[in-house]
Chains A and B, each alone.
Chain A
Amino acid sequence: MKNQEQSVSKKWKKEYTAVLLANIAYILIFYFLMKTFS
Protein backbone atom coordinates (compact mmCIF):
# COMPACT_ATOMS: atom_id res chain seq x y z
CA MET A 1 0.00 0.00 0.00
CA LYS A 2 2.77 2.38 1.00
CA ASN A 3 4.70 1.53 -2.18
CA GLN A 4 1.60 2.16 -4.26
CA GLU A 5 1.12 5.57 -2.60
CA GLN A 6 4.75 6.44 -3.22
CA SER A 7 4.52 5.55 -6.92
CA VAL A 8 1.32 7.62 -7.28
CA SER A 9 3.04 10.55 -5.58
CA LYS A 10 6.07 10.19 -7.88
CA LYS A 11 3.80 10.15 -10.93
CA TRP A 12 2.08 13.26 -9.64
CA LYS A 13 5.33 15.04 -9.17
CA LYS A 14 6.09 14.28 -12.81
CA GLU A 15 2.78 15.75 -14.00
CA TYR A 16 3.14 18.97 -12.00
CA THR A 17 6.75 19.32 -13.14
CA ALA A 18 5.69 18.73 -16.76
CA VAL A 19 3.15 21.57 -16.62
CA LEU A 20 5.63 24.00 -15.05
CA LEU A 21 8.41 22.99 -17.46
CA ALA A 22 6.06 23.36 -20.44
CA ASN A 23 5.29 26.91 -19.32
CA ILE A 24 8.98 27.71 -18.90
CA ALA A 25 9.46 26.38 -22.45
CA TYR A 26 6.65 28.67 -23.70
CA ILE A 27 8.37 31.67 -22.14
CA LEU A 28 11.70 30.69 -23.74
CA ILE A 29 9.94 30.38 -27.12
CA PHE A 30 8.37 33.82 -26.59
CA TYR A 31 11.81 35.22 -25.77
CA PHE A 32 13.24 33.66 -28.94
CA LEU A 33 10.36 35.03 -31.06
CA MET A 34 10.79 38.47 -29.52
CA LYS A 35 14.54 38.51 -30.17
CA THR A 36 14.07 37.24 -33.74
CA PHE A 37 11.26 39.49 -34.87
CA SER A 38 11.51 42.70 -32.80
Chain B
Amino acid sequence: MANIDWIILLGTLSFIVIYGSWKTRGSQNVDEFIKGGNKAKWWTVGLSVMATQASAITFLSTPGQAFHSGMGFVQFYFGLPIAMVIISLVFIPIYHKLKVYTAYEFLESRFDLKTRTLAAILFLVQRGLAAGITIFAPAIILSAVLGWDLVTLNILIGVLVIIYTVSGGTKAVNVTQKQQMAIIFVGMFAAFFIIISYLPQDITFKKALQIAGASGKMEILDFSFDLSNRYTIWTGFLGGTFLMLSYFGTDQSQVQRYLSGKSIRESQLGLLFNGFLKVPMQFFILLVGVMVFVFYQFNASPLNFNPAATTAVKNSAFAEEYKALEQKHHTIEEKKRVAQFQFVAHNSDEKIRETIKTLNREEVENREKAKEIILKADDTQETNDKDYVFIHFILNNLPRGLIGLLLAVILSAAMSSTASELNALASTTTMDLYKRNERSAKEDKHYVKVTKWFTIGWGVLAILVASVANLFDNLIQLVNIIGSIFYGNILGIFLLAFFIKMVKANAVFWAAIITQIIIIIVYKLDILPYLWLNLLGCILVMGIAITLQQFAFKSNLEVES
Protein backbone atom coordinates (compact mmCIF):
# COMPACT_ATOMS: atom_id res chain seq x y z
CA MET B 1 0.00 0.00 0.00
CA ALA B 2 1.29 3.45 -0.93
CA ASN B 3 1.56 6.35 1.53
CA ILE B 4 -1.43 8.10 -0.05
CA ASP B 5 -3.58 4.99 0.68
CA TRP B 6 -2.53 5.01 4.32
CA ILE B 7 -3.27 8.74 4.58
CA ILE B 8 -6.75 8.32 3.06
CA LEU B 9 -7.54 5.21 5.13
CA LEU B 10 -6.34 6.52 8.48
CA GLY B 11 -7.58 10.07 7.77
CA THR B 12 -11.11 8.85 6.96
CA LEU B 13 -11.38 6.52 9.95
CA SER B 14 -9.96 8.99 12.46
CA PHE B 15 -12.17 11.79 11.13
CA ILE B 16 -15.29 9.63 11.66
CA VAL B 17 -14.28 8.64 15.19
CA ILE B 18 -13.18 12.14 16.29
CA TYR B 19 -16.11 13.96 14.65
CA GLY B 20 -18.66 11.42 15.97
CA SER B 21 -17.30 11.63 19.52
CA TRP B 22 -16.97 15.44 19.51
CA LYS B 23 -20.33 16.19 17.89
CA THR B 24 -22.32 14.04 20.32
CA ARG B 25 -20.33 14.44 23.52
CA GLY B 26 -22.04 14.92 26.86
CA SER B 27 -25.34 13.03 26.59
CA GLN B 28 -26.68 13.42 30.12
CA ASN B 29 -29.92 11.46 30.14
CA VAL B 30 -31.06 8.01 29.11
CA ASP B 31 -33.42 9.37 26.47
CA GLU B 32 -30.53 11.14 24.71
CA PHE B 33 -28.12 8.23 25.07
CA ILE B 34 -30.43 5.39 24.04
CA LYS B 35 -32.89 7.10 21.70
CA GLY B 36 -30.69 10.00 20.54
CA GLY B 37 -33.19 12.40 22.12
CA ASN B 38 -35.74 11.44 19.44
CA LYS B 39 -34.33 14.04 17.07
CA ALA B 40 -33.43 11.97 14.00
CA LYS B 41 -34.92 12.98 10.65
CA TRP B 42 -36.12 10.33 8.22
CA TRP B 43 -32.98 10.31 6.09
CA THR B 44 -30.83 9.80 9.21
CA VAL B 45 -33.07 6.90 10.28
CA GLY B 46 -33.01 5.43 6.76
CA LEU B 47 -29.23 5.68 6.33
CA SER B 48 -28.68 4.33 9.84
CA VAL B 49 -30.90 1.31 9.16
CA MET B 50 -29.05 0.65 5.89
CA ALA B 51 -25.61 1.09 7.48
CA THR B 52 -26.51 -1.31 10.29
CA GLN B 53 -27.53 -4.06 7.87
CA ALA B 54 -24.64 -3.54 5.45
CA SER B 55 -21.63 -5.06 7.17
CA ALA B 56 -18.12 -5.36 5.74
CA ILE B 57 -18.99 -8.81 4.44
CA THR B 58 -21.69 -7.21 2.25
CA PHE B 59 -19.00 -5.32 0.36
CA LEU B 60 -16.40 -8.10 0.36
CA SER B 61 -18.64 -11.06 -0.32
CA THR B 62 -21.48 -9.78 -2.55
CA PRO B 63 -19.29 -8.84 -5.57
CA GLY B 64 -17.57 -12.24 -5.21
CA GLN B 65 -20.99 -13.91 -5.15
CA ALA B 66 -21.85 -12.18 -8.46
CA PHE B 67 -18.43 -13.08 -9.89
CA HIS B 68 -19.06 -16.80 -9.35
CA SER B 69 -22.86 -17.15 -9.46
CA GLY B 70 -24.28 -14.07 -11.19
CA MET B 71 -26.93 -11.58 -10.13
CA GLY B 72 -29.52 -14.02 -8.68
CA PHE B 73 -28.66 -13.11 -5.08
CA VAL B 74 -30.64 -9.85 -5.47
CA GLN B 75 -33.85 -11.92 -5.15
CA PHE B 76 -32.98 -12.52 -1.49
CA TYR B 77 -33.99 -8.87 -0.83
CA PHE B 78 -37.39 -8.91 -2.56
CA GLY B 79 -39.25 -9.41 0.73
CA LEU B 80 -37.56 -6.42 2.36
CA PRO B 81 -39.91 -3.66 1.05
CA ILE B 82 -42.94 -5.71 2.16
CA ALA B 83 -41.43 -6.11 5.62
CA MET B 84 -40.72 -2.35 5.73
CA VAL B 85 -44.37 -1.56 4.99
CA ILE B 86 -45.66 -4.04 7.63
CA ILE B 87 -43.27 -2.70 10.29
CA SER B 88 -44.15 0.91 9.45
CA LEU B 89 -47.87 0.21 9.66
CA VAL B 90 -47.99 -2.13 12.66
CA PHE B 91 -44.79 -2.14 14.75
CA ILE B 92 -43.70 1.53 14.74
CA PRO B 93 -47.00 3.12 15.91
CA ILE B 94 -47.14 0.74 18.89
CA TYR B 95 -43.46 1.19 19.86
CA HIS B 96 -43.84 4.97 19.68
CA LYS B 97 -47.16 5.02 21.51
CA LEU B 98 -45.69 3.04 24.41
CA LYS B 99 -42.49 5.16 24.30
CA VAL B 100 -40.36 2.03 24.69
CA TYR B 101 -36.55 2.05 24.76
CA THR B 102 -36.26 -1.54 23.55
CA ALA B 103 -38.49 -3.84 21.53
CA TYR B 104 -38.64 -6.27 24.47
CA GLU B 105 -40.13 -3.60 26.75
CA PHE B 106 -43.26 -3.79 24.60
CA LEU B 107 -43.56 -7.50 25.46
CA GLU B 108 -43.97 -6.65 29.15
CA SER B 109 -46.86 -4.30 28.48
CA ARG B 110 -48.47 -6.85 26.17
CA PHE B 111 -47.63 -10.02 28.13
CA ASP B 112 -45.53 -9.93 31.30
CA LEU B 113 -42.05 -9.45 32.74
CA LYS B 114 -40.89 -13.04 32.27
CA THR B 115 -41.68 -12.98 28.52
CA ARG B 116 -39.80 -9.66 28.16
CA THR B 117 -36.78 -11.03 30.04
CA LEU B 118 -36.78 -14.27 28.02
CA ALA B 119 -36.84 -12.41 24.67
CA ALA B 120 -34.13 -9.98 25.85
CA ILE B 121 -31.84 -12.83 26.95
CA LEU B 122 -32.35 -14.69 23.65
CA PHE B 123 -31.39 -11.48 21.82
CA LEU B 124 -28.30 -10.86 23.99
CA VAL B 125 -26.92 -14.38 23.48
CA GLN B 126 -27.38 -14.30 19.74
CA ARG B 127 -26.34 -10.70 19.05
CA GLY B 128 -23.46 -10.82 21.55
CA LEU B 129 -21.80 -13.60 19.54
CA ALA B 130 -22.74 -12.01 16.20
CA ALA B 131 -21.01 -8.73 17.19
CA GLY B 132 -17.72 -10.64 17.48
CA ILE B 133 -18.21 -12.13 14.03
CA THR B 134 -19.03 -8.71 12.51
CA ILE B 135 -15.48 -7.72 13.52
CA PHE B 136 -13.81 -11.07 12.81
CA ALA B 137 -15.19 -11.73 9.31
CA PRO B 138 -13.56 -8.73 7.55
CA ALA B 139 -10.47 -8.88 9.80
CA ILE B 140 -9.61 -12.45 8.75
CA ILE B 141 -9.89 -11.52 5.05
CA LEU B 142 -7.91 -8.27 5.36
CA SER B 143 -5.22 -9.96 7.44
CA ALA B 144 -4.91 -12.73 4.82
CA VAL B 145 -4.52 -10.39 1.86
CA LEU B 146 -2.63 -7.52 3.50
CA GLY B 147 -0.54 -9.52 5.95
CA TRP B 148 -1.80 -7.43 8.88
CA ASP B 149 -1.92 -9.08 12.30
CA LEU B 150 -5.41 -10.51 12.90
CA VAL B 151 -5.63 -9.74 16.63
CA THR B 152 -4.35 -6.16 16.13
CA LEU B 153 -6.96 -5.61 13.44
CA ASN B 154 -9.72 -6.99 15.70
CA ILE B 155 -8.65 -4.70 18.51
CA LEU B 156 -8.35 -1.68 16.17
CA ILE B 157 -11.89 -2.05 14.75
CA GLY B 158 -13.36 -2.81 18.20
CA VAL B 159 -11.64 0.04 20.05
CA LEU B 160 -12.49 2.66 17.39
CA VAL B 161 -16.17 1.68 17.62
CA ILE B 162 -16.14 1.61 21.43
CA ILE B 163 -14.70 5.17 21.58
CA TYR B 164 -17.56 6.92 19.81
CA THR B 165 -20.37 4.57 20.86
CA VAL B 166 -19.47 5.07 24.53
CA SER B 167 -19.02 8.80 24.05
CA GLY B 168 -22.29 9.65 22.29
CA GLY B 169 -24.54 6.56 22.33
CA THR B 170 -27.26 6.33 19.68
CA LYS B 171 -26.67 9.88 18.45
CA ALA B 172 -23.00 9.09 17.75
CA VAL B 173 -23.99 5.87 15.98
CA ASN B 174 -26.45 7.82 13.78
CA VAL B 175 -24.02 10.68 13.01
CA THR B 176 -21.13 8.39 12.10
CA GLN B 177 -23.33 6.08 10.04
CA LYS B 178 -24.28 8.98 7.75
CA GLN B 179 -20.61 9.64 7.03
CA GLN B 180 -19.85 5.95 6.70
CA MET B 181 -22.66 5.52 4.16
CA ALA B 182 -21.35 8.53 2.20
CA ILE B 183 -17.88 6.95 2.05
CA ILE B 184 -19.39 3.59 1.08
CA PHE B 185 -21.41 5.12 -1.80
CA VAL B 186 -18.49 7.25 -3.09
CA GLY B 187 -16.09 4.29 -2.88
CA MET B 188 -18.39 1.82 -4.63
CA PHE B 189 -19.31 4.26 -7.44
CA ALA B 190 -15.62 5.10 -7.97
CA ALA B 191 -14.75 1.40 -8.13
CA PHE B 192 -17.57 0.74 -10.61
CA PHE B 193 -16.52 3.49 -13.05
CA ILE B 194 -12.86 2.56 -12.80
CA ILE B 195 -13.64 -1.08 -13.63
CA ILE B 196 -15.62 0.04 -16.71
CA SER B 197 -12.72 2.26 -17.78
CA TYR B 198 -10.31 -0.69 -17.43
CA LEU B 199 -12.19 -2.80 -19.99
CA PRO B 200 -10.65 -3.05 -23.50
CA GLN B 201 -11.35 -0.01 -25.66
CA ASP B 202 -14.08 -1.53 -27.85
CA ILE B 203 -15.94 -3.12 -24.90
CA THR B 204 -18.71 -0.69 -24.01
CA PHE B 205 -20.95 -1.11 -20.94
CA LYS B 206 -23.64 -2.70 -23.12
CA LYS B 207 -21.16 -5.16 -24.59
CA ALA B 208 -19.87 -5.91 -21.09
CA LEU B 209 -23.42 -6.88 -20.09
CA GLN B 210 -23.67 -9.11 -23.19
CA ILE B 211 -20.41 -10.81 -22.21
CA ALA B 212 -21.71 -11.33 -18.68
CA GLY B 213 -25.01 -12.65 -20.07
CA ALA B 214 -23.25 -15.17 -22.32
CA SER B 215 -21.66 -16.67 -19.19
CA GLY B 216 -24.99 -16.85 -17.34
CA LYS B 217 -24.21 -13.96 -14.95
CA MET B 218 -27.36 -12.01 -15.92
CA GLU B 219 -29.82 -14.69 -14.76
CA ILE B 220 -31.33 -12.22 -12.30
CA LEU B 221 -34.71 -13.88 -11.75
CA ASP B 222 -35.38 -17.56 -11.13
CA PHE B 223 -39.06 -18.55 -11.33
CA SER B 224 -38.47 -22.27 -10.67
CA PHE B 225 -39.98 -24.06 -7.67
CA ASP B 226 -36.83 -26.13 -7.14
CA LEU B 227 -36.19 -26.21 -3.38
CA SER B 228 -32.50 -26.90 -3.94
CA ASN B 229 -32.10 -23.45 -5.54
CA ARG B 230 -31.31 -21.17 -2.64
CA TYR B 231 -32.25 -17.92 -4.44
CA THR B 232 -35.51 -17.90 -6.38
CA ILE B 233 -38.15 -15.21 -6.67
CA TRP B 234 -40.40 -17.28 -4.34
CA THR B 235 -37.85 -17.79 -1.58
CA GLY B 236 -37.07 -14.07 -1.92
CA PHE B 237 -40.67 -13.03 -1.39
CA LEU B 238 -41.68 -15.67 1.19
CA GLY B 239 -38.49 -16.36 3.12
CA GLY B 240 -37.20 -12.82 2.60
CA THR B 241 -40.30 -11.13 4.03
CA PHE B 242 -40.24 -13.45 7.02
CA LEU B 243 -36.51 -13.01 7.66
CA MET B 244 -36.55 -9.22 7.22
CA LEU B 245 -39.62 -8.92 9.43
CA SER B 246 -37.83 -10.68 12.25
CA TYR B 247 -34.57 -8.78 11.73
CA PHE B 248 -35.99 -5.26 11.34
CA GLY B 249 -39.01 -5.69 13.59
CA THR B 250 -37.61 -7.50 16.62
CA ASP B 251 -33.81 -7.15 16.62
CA GLN B 252 -32.91 -4.28 18.94
CA SER B 253 -29.88 -3.30 16.79
CA GLN B 254 -32.40 -2.27 14.11
CA VAL B 255 -35.35 -1.26 16.32
CA GLN B 256 -33.13 1.23 18.17
CA ARG B 257 -32.31 2.95 14.87
CA TYR B 258 -35.90 3.86 14.07
CA LEU B 259 -36.90 4.48 17.69
CA SER B 260 -34.53 7.49 17.47
CA GLY B 261 -36.87 9.09 14.87
CA LYS B 262 -38.26 12.54 15.67
CA SER B 263 -41.83 11.30 15.22
CA ILE B 264 -43.73 8.23 14.05
CA ARG B 265 -43.73 9.73 10.58
CA GLU B 266 -39.93 10.26 10.49
CA SER B 267 -39.35 6.66 11.65
CA GLN B 268 -41.81 5.30 9.08
CA LEU B 269 -40.32 7.38 6.27
CA GLY B 270 -36.85 6.19 7.28
CA LEU B 271 -37.90 2.56 6.86
CA LEU B 272 -39.70 3.31 3.58
CA PHE B 273 -36.51 5.00 2.37
CA ASN B 274 -34.72 1.71 3.07
CA GLY B 275 -37.49 -0.20 1.25
CA PHE B 276 -37.05 2.11 -1.72
CA LEU B 277 -33.24 1.94 -1.97
CA LYS B 278 -32.20 -1.48 -0.70
CA VAL B 279 -32.98 -3.60 -3.79
CA PRO B 280 -31.26 -1.21 -6.27
CA MET B 281 -28.32 -0.88 -3.87
CA GLN B 282 -27.81 -4.64 -3.68
CA PHE B 283 -28.29 -4.85 -7.45
CA PHE B 284 -25.54 -2.25 -7.90
CA ILE B 285 -23.10 -4.08 -5.58
CA LEU B 286 -23.76 -7.29 -7.53
CA LEU B 287 -23.27 -5.40 -10.79
CA VAL B 288 -19.84 -4.31 -9.55
CA GLY B 289 -19.05 -8.02 -9.08
CA VAL B 290 -20.30 -8.83 -12.59
CA MET B 291 -18.08 -6.08 -14.02
CA VAL B 292 -15.13 -7.56 -12.11
CA PHE B 293 -16.03 -10.86 -13.83
CA VAL B 294 -15.98 -9.12 -17.25
CA PHE B 295 -12.66 -7.48 -16.35
CA TYR B 296 -11.15 -10.93 -15.67
CA GLN B 297 -12.33 -12.15 -19.06
CA PHE B 298 -9.59 -9.96 -20.53
CA ASN B 299 -7.04 -10.07 -17.70
CA ALA B 300 -5.34 -12.92 -15.86
CA SER B 301 -6.98 -14.13 -12.64
CA PRO B 302 -5.59 -16.46 -9.95
CA LEU B 303 -6.81 -20.06 -9.84
CA ASN B 304 -7.97 -19.47 -6.27
CA PHE B 305 -8.44 -15.93 -4.95
CA ASN B 306 -7.54 -16.82 -1.33
CA PRO B 307 -3.79 -16.06 -1.07
CA ALA B 308 -3.35 -18.09 2.13
CA ALA B 309 -4.81 -21.19 0.44
CA THR B 310 -2.55 -20.72 -2.61
CA THR B 311 0.56 -20.30 -0.43
CA ALA B 312 -0.37 -23.40 1.60
CA VAL B 313 -0.70 -25.63 -1.46
CA LYS B 314 2.44 -24.23 -3.10
CA ASN B 315 4.46 -25.09 0.00
CA SER B 316 3.16 -28.65 0.12
CA ALA B 317 3.82 -31.92 -1.67
CA PHE B 318 0.98 -31.02 -4.05
CA ALA B 319 2.76 -27.96 -5.49
CA GLU B 320 3.52 -29.57 -8.86
CA GLU B 321 -0.01 -30.88 -9.28
CA TYR B 322 -1.35 -27.39 -8.49
CA LYS B 323 1.06 -25.77 -10.94
CA ALA B 324 -0.25 -28.01 -13.72
CA LEU B 325 -3.80 -26.83 -12.92
CA GLU B 326 -2.62 -23.20 -12.97
CA GLN B 327 -1.12 -23.80 -16.40
CA LYS B 328 -4.41 -25.24 -17.62
CA HIS B 329 -6.27 -22.28 -16.08
CA HIS B 330 -4.16 -19.80 -18.04
CA THR B 331 -4.69 -21.74 -21.27
CA ILE B 332 -8.48 -21.66 -20.74
CA GLU B 333 -8.31 -17.94 -19.95
CA GLU B 334 -6.36 -17.29 -23.15
CA LYS B 335 -8.95 -19.19 -25.23
CA LYS B 336 -11.76 -17.34 -23.50
CA ARG B 337 -10.18 -13.97 -24.19
CA VAL B 338 -10.11 -14.73 -27.93
CA ALA B 339 -13.68 -16.07 -27.82
CA GLN B 340 -14.98 -13.00 -25.96
CA PHE B 341 -13.51 -10.62 -28.56
CA GLN B 342 -15.04 -12.73 -31.34
CA PHE B 343 -18.38 -12.81 -29.51
CA VAL B 344 -18.51 -9.02 -29.36
CA ALA B 345 -17.25 -8.56 -32.92
CA HIS B 346 -19.77 -11.04 -34.39
CA ASN B 347 -22.77 -9.56 -32.63
CA SER B 348 -23.37 -12.28 -30.02
CA ASP B 349 -22.99 -15.22 -32.41
CA GLU B 350 -24.67 -18.40 -31.04
CA LYS B 351 -21.76 -20.70 -31.94
CA ILE B 352 -19.27 -18.52 -30.11
CA ARG B 353 -21.68 -18.32 -27.16
CA GLU B 354 -21.58 -22.15 -26.99
CA THR B 355 -17.76 -22.10 -27.11
CA ILE B 356 -17.72 -19.63 -24.19
CA LYS B 357 -20.12 -21.82 -22.22
CA THR B 358 -17.89 -24.88 -22.76
CA LEU B 359 -14.80 -22.92 -21.71
CA ASN B 360 -16.66 -21.64 -18.61
CA ARG B 361 -17.53 -25.22 -17.66
CA GLU B 362 -13.90 -26.26 -18.08
CA GLU B 363 -12.78 -23.31 -15.95
CA VAL B 364 -15.22 -24.15 -13.14
CA GLU B 365 -14.16 -27.81 -13.19
CA ASN B 366 -10.52 -26.75 -13.03
CA ARG B 367 -11.19 -24.42 -10.10
CA GLU B 368 -13.02 -27.25 -8.27
CA LYS B 369 -10.05 -29.58 -8.79
CA ALA B 370 -7.79 -26.85 -7.40
CA LYS B 371 -9.98 -26.65 -4.28
CA GLU B 372 -9.69 -30.42 -3.78
CA ILE B 373 -5.89 -30.23 -4.01
CA ILE B 374 -5.78 -27.29 -1.56
CA LEU B 375 -7.81 -29.34 0.93
CA LYS B 376 -5.51 -32.31 0.46
CA ALA B 377 -2.54 -30.04 1.19
CA ASP B 378 -4.15 -28.30 4.18
CA ASP B 379 -7.70 -29.08 5.20
CA THR B 380 -7.93 -25.99 7.43
CA GLN B 381 -7.82 -23.61 4.43
CA GLU B 382 -10.93 -21.78 3.20
CA THR B 383 -11.30 -22.90 -0.42
CA ASN B 384 -14.52 -20.99 -1.13
CA ASP B 385 -12.81 -17.84 -2.37
CA LYS B 386 -15.83 -15.60 -3.10
CA ASP B 387 -14.94 -13.32 -0.16
CA TYR B 388 -11.49 -12.71 -1.67
CA VAL B 389 -12.43 -11.86 -5.27
CA PHE B 390 -13.24 -8.16 -4.81
CA ILE B 391 -10.40 -7.40 -2.38
CA HIS B 392 -7.96 -9.14 -4.77
CA PHE B 393 -9.22 -6.93 -7.58
CA ILE B 394 -8.96 -3.79 -5.41
CA LEU B 395 -5.41 -4.42 -4.25
CA ASN B 396 -4.04 -5.50 -7.62
CA ASN B 397 -5.78 -3.15 -10.02
CA LEU B 398 -7.12 0.05 -8.47
CA PRO B 399 -5.00 3.21 -8.61
CA ARG B 400 -3.20 4.61 -5.58
CA GLY B 401 -5.50 6.47 -3.27
CA LEU B 402 -8.55 4.52 -4.31
CA ILE B 403 -7.18 1.40 -2.58
CA GLY B 404 -7.14 3.39 0.68
CA LEU B 405 -10.68 4.64 0.01
CA LEU B 406 -12.02 1.13 -0.68
CA LEU B 407 -10.35 -0.22 2.47
CA ALA B 408 -12.04 2.68 4.31
CA VAL B 409 -15.35 1.50 2.78
CA ILE B 410 -14.83 -2.02 4.15
CA LEU B 411 -13.74 -0.89 7.61
CA SER B 412 -16.51 1.76 7.77
CA ALA B 413 -19.08 -0.93 7.03
CA ALA B 414 -17.60 -3.14 9.76
CA MET B 415 -17.66 -0.26 12.23
CA SER B 416 -21.21 0.90 11.42
CA SER B 417 -22.70 -2.55 12.02
CA THR B 418 -20.64 -3.18 15.15
CA ALA B 419 -21.60 0.22 16.61
CA SER B 420 -25.33 -0.53 16.23
CA GLU B 421 -24.83 -3.95 17.81
CA LEU B 422 -22.88 -2.68 20.84
CA ASN B 423 -25.37 0.19 21.27
CA ALA B 424 -28.31 -2.23 21.23
CA LEU B 425 -26.65 -4.83 23.47
CA ALA B 426 -25.84 -2.18 26.09
CA SER B 427 -29.33 -0.63 25.91
CA THR B 428 -31.06 -4.00 26.28
CA THR B 429 -28.82 -5.03 29.19
CA THR B 430 -29.51 -1.73 30.96
CA MET B 431 -33.21 -1.29 30.29
CA ASP B 432 -34.51 -4.88 30.21
CA LEU B 433 -32.31 -6.52 32.80
CA TYR B 434 -30.52 -3.99 35.03
CA LYS B 435 -32.99 -1.11 35.42
CA ARG B 436 -36.08 -3.32 35.35
CA ASN B 437 -34.77 -5.41 38.24
CA GLU B 438 -33.46 -2.54 40.39
CA ARG B 439 -35.38 -2.16 43.63
CA SER B 440 -35.01 1.60 43.94
CA ALA B 441 -35.06 4.06 41.03
CA LYS B 442 -31.84 5.96 40.47
CA GLU B 443 -30.94 9.20 38.69
CA ASP B 444 -30.81 9.30 34.91
CA LYS B 445 -27.07 9.98 35.03
CA HIS B 446 -26.53 6.66 36.78
CA TYR B 447 -28.22 4.73 33.95
CA VAL B 448 -26.25 6.62 31.29
CA LYS B 449 -23.07 5.67 33.13
CA VAL B 450 -24.18 2.04 33.44
CA THR B 451 -25.09 1.90 29.71
CA LYS B 452 -21.63 3.25 28.84
CA TRP B 453 -19.98 0.54 30.97
CA PHE B 454 -22.15 -2.13 29.37
CA THR B 455 -21.10 -0.78 25.93
CA ILE B 456 -17.44 -1.17 26.91
CA GLY B 457 -18.15 -4.64 28.34
CA TRP B 458 -19.94 -5.89 25.20
CA GLY B 459 -17.22 -4.27 23.05
CA VAL B 460 -14.46 -6.10 24.90
CA LEU B 461 -16.44 -9.35 24.67
CA ALA B 462 -16.90 -8.82 20.89
CA ILE B 463 -13.13 -8.29 20.49
CA LEU B 464 -12.46 -11.46 22.52
CA VAL B 465 -14.94 -13.50 20.43
CA ALA B 466 -13.32 -12.09 17.25
CA SER B 467 -9.84 -12.97 18.54
CA VAL B 468 -10.64 -16.60 19.38
CA ALA B 469 -12.96 -17.11 16.39
CA ASN B 470 -9.99 -18.43 14.45
CA LEU B 471 -9.67 -21.38 16.79
CA PHE B 472 -13.08 -22.72 15.85
CA ASP B 473 -13.63 -24.33 12.48
CA ASN B 474 -16.93 -22.88 11.50
CA LEU B 475 -17.73 -20.06 13.85
CA ILE B 476 -19.55 -17.95 11.28
CA GLN B 477 -21.82 -20.87 10.50
CA LEU B 478 -22.24 -21.51 14.22
CA VAL B 479 -23.43 -17.94 14.76
CA ASN B 480 -25.88 -18.29 11.86
CA ILE B 481 -27.14 -21.53 13.39
CA ILE B 482 -27.59 -19.88 16.80
CA GLY B 483 -29.46 -17.05 15.02
CA SER B 484 -31.76 -19.51 13.26
CA ILE B 485 -32.41 -21.37 16.53
CA PHE B 486 -33.60 -18.20 18.34
CA TYR B 487 -34.87 -15.80 15.66
CA GLY B 488 -38.04 -17.68 14.67
CA ASN B 489 -39.12 -18.04 18.29
CA ILE B 490 -38.64 -14.30 18.98
CA LEU B 491 -40.53 -13.30 15.82
CA GLY B 492 -43.36 -15.68 16.74
CA ILE B 493 -43.66 -14.04 20.17
CA PHE B 494 -43.89 -10.58 18.54
CA LEU B 495 -46.40 -11.71 15.90
CA LEU B 496 -48.58 -13.15 18.69
CA ALA B 497 -48.26 -9.86 20.57
CA PHE B 498 -49.28 -7.77 17.56
CA PHE B 499 -51.88 -9.90 15.82
CA ILE B 500 -53.37 -12.59 18.11
CA LYS B 501 -55.06 -10.66 20.89
CA MET B 502 -56.58 -13.70 22.60
CA VAL B 503 -53.17 -15.16 23.53
CA LYS B 504 -52.02 -14.08 26.98
CA ALA B 505 -48.77 -14.10 28.97
CA ASN B 506 -48.55 -17.62 30.41
CA ALA B 507 -49.50 -19.30 27.13
CA VAL B 508 -46.84 -17.41 25.16
CA PHE B 509 -44.13 -17.90 27.77
CA TRP B 510 -44.56 -21.67 28.00
CA ALA B 511 -45.01 -21.92 24.24
CA ALA B 512 -41.66 -20.11 23.80
CA ILE B 513 -39.90 -22.48 26.24
CA ILE B 514 -41.42 -25.60 24.60
CA THR B 515 -40.60 -24.26 21.11
CA GLN B 516 -36.99 -23.58 22.06
CA ILE B 517 -36.56 -27.12 23.38
CA ILE B 518 -38.17 -28.63 20.24
CA ILE B 519 -36.01 -26.46 17.94
CA ILE B 520 -32.82 -27.50 19.74
CA ILE B 521 -33.86 -31.19 19.47
CA VAL B 522 -34.71 -30.79 15.75
CA TYR B 523 -31.31 -29.17 15.22
CA LYS B 524 -29.47 -31.86 17.22
CA LEU B 525 -31.20 -34.68 15.30
CA ASP B 526 -30.41 -32.86 12.04
CA ILE B 527 -33.99 -33.21 10.78
CA LEU B 528 -34.06 -29.91 8.85
CA PRO B 529 -31.44 -27.63 7.24
CA TYR B 530 -30.76 -24.95 9.84
CA LEU B 531 -32.12 -22.04 7.74
CA TRP B 532 -35.60 -23.57 8.02
CA LEU B 533 -35.43 -23.53 11.84
CA ASN B 534 -36.44 -19.84 11.66
CA LEU B 535 -39.75 -20.62 10.01
CA LEU B 536 -40.37 -23.72 12.15
CA GLY B 537 -39.69 -21.77 15.38
CA CYS B 538 -42.13 -19.04 14.41
CA ILE B 539 -44.92 -21.43 13.40
CA LEU B 540 -44.39 -23.65 16.46
CA VAL B 541 -44.48 -20.86 19.05
CA MET B 542 -47.62 -19.39 17.51
CA GLY B 543 -49.38 -22.75 17.18
CA ILE B 544 -48.45 -23.94 20.68
CA ALA B 545 -49.39 -20.60 22.29
CA ILE B 546 -52.83 -20.57 20.63
CA THR B 547 -53.41 -24.22 21.61
CA LEU B 548 -52.29 -23.64 25.21
CA GLN B 549 -54.49 -20.55 25.44
CA GLN B 550 -57.50 -22.46 24.10
CA PHE B 551 -57.13 -25.51 26.35
CA ALA B 552 -54.63 -25.23 29.23
CA PHE B 553 -55.05 -21.53 30.09
CA LYS B 554 -58.68 -21.15 29.03
CA SER B 555 -59.85 -20.15 32.52
CA ASN B 556 -57.15 -17.45 32.53
CA LEU B 557 -58.59 -16.00 29.37
CA GLU B 558 -62.08 -15.94 30.87
CA VAL B 559 -60.84 -14.21 34.04
CA GLU B 560 -58.76 -11.67 32.07
CA SER B 561 -61.53 -10.89 29.62
List chain A positions with a Cβ less than 8 A from chain B.
12, 15-16, 18-20, 22-23, 26-27, 30-31, 33-34, 36-38
Contacts and interface: CB of A to CB of B under 8 A. Distances in A.
Contacts of A38: 213, 216, 218-219
Contacts of A12: 268
A20 B219 contact: no
Most chain B CB atoms below 10 A, which of A19, A22, A36: A19
B158 interface: no
A30 B275 contact: no
Interface of B: 71, 74, 78, 81-82, 84-85, 88-89, 209-210, 212-213, 216, 218-221, 233, 268-269, 272, 275-276, 279-280, 283
A33 B275 CA distance: 21
Contact of B275 (A19, A27, A31, A34): A19
Contacts, number: 55
Given A16-B88, A38-B216, A30 B74 contact: yes
Given A20-B81, A23-B78, A26-B283, 15 more contacts: A15-B272, A16-B89, A19-B81, A22-B276, A23-B275, A23-B276, A26-B280, A27-B221, A30-B220, A34-B218, A37-B209, A37-B210, A37-B218, A38-B218, A38-B219
B88 A33 contact: no
Nearest to B208: A37
Given A16-B88, A26-B279, A31 B221 contact: yes
20 contacts: A12-B268, A16-B272, A18-B276, A19-B84, A19-B85, A19-B272, A19-B276, A22-B81, A23-B78, A23-B275, A26-B283, A27-B233, A31-B220, A31-B221, A33-B218, A34-B221, A36-B213, A37-B218, A38-B216, A38-B219
B210 A20 contact: no
Nearest to B215: A38
Contacts of A26: 279-280, 283
A30 B78 CA distance: 12
Contacts of B81: 19-20, 22-23
Across the A-B interface, give the 6 residue pairs with the lowest CB-CB distance, nearest first.
A37-B213, A30-B220, A37-B218, A23-B81, A37-B209, A19-B275
Contacts of B210: 37
